[in-house]
Amino acid sequence: MAERDYQQELDDLHSGKTSHFDITPEEFQAFQPIFHGYQYRTQIEAEAHRGGTLTYRLKKR
């Protein structure tokens, strides 16, 4: 299985190419350091779902 490019997914979200993306509990440990270092992370919010999946999207302004 190919490794996900979390940096690209964050960039696509920030630029409007995508409206959201999901992170599973298994992916969280790999994703978190990239998200923490992301320049625009304060503009992104996560919604938690039953089972531990998180949906990331831009905050509404």
Question: Among 53, 51, 57, 52, which Cα is nearest to 17's?
Answer: 57
C-alpha 41/C-alpha 16 separation (Å) is 14
What confidence tens digit (pLDDT) does each residue in 6-61 have?
999 999 999 999 999 999 999 999 999 999 999 999 999 999 999 999 999 999 86
User: pTM above 0.85?
Assistant: yes
